[in-house]
Amino acid sequence: MYKLEITVEGTWRGDILDTVKPVCTLSLAKSPISPSVFNLDPYFQLKLSNGDCVEIGCSWTKSNDTGLRISRENGTLLNLETKGEYRTEMVLGDGLQYQFKLTKGNA
């Protein structure tokens, strides 16, 4: 089982963001088109605190290639390609810092 956890930094403590709040945990499913790929099908629509939406795409292949794509109507905000598990952070259009963590769990 592959899962993508999305969290957001919530509280400032001086110059440091201190509180992490869970947004959602998504499970990647076997692609109906390519059985060697697990992904979010379709893309996940993440509604930001200011009402804007971004699309989240995520994949994991049997050869351990992984990816994360964050986009909106006018283009791609992030396109990450790597090997295996990852954790990355990004400030999105609502000014909040989001974390994206892809892990491989037990089946």
Q: What is the pLDDT of residues 58-67, one digit of tens each?
A: 999 999 999 9
Answer yes or no: are the C-beta atoms of 92 and 99 closer than 8 Å.
Answer: no
Average of per-residue pLDDT across 26-53: 92
CA-to-CA distance for 77 and 104, rounded, in angstroms? 25
Residues contacting 75, CB < 8 A, separation 6+ = none
What is the pTM for the complete model shown? 0.88
Q: Percentage of the chain surpassing pLDDT 70?
A: 93
Average of per-residue pLDDT across 94-99: 92
Instruction: Name the average pLDDT for the chain.
Output: 91
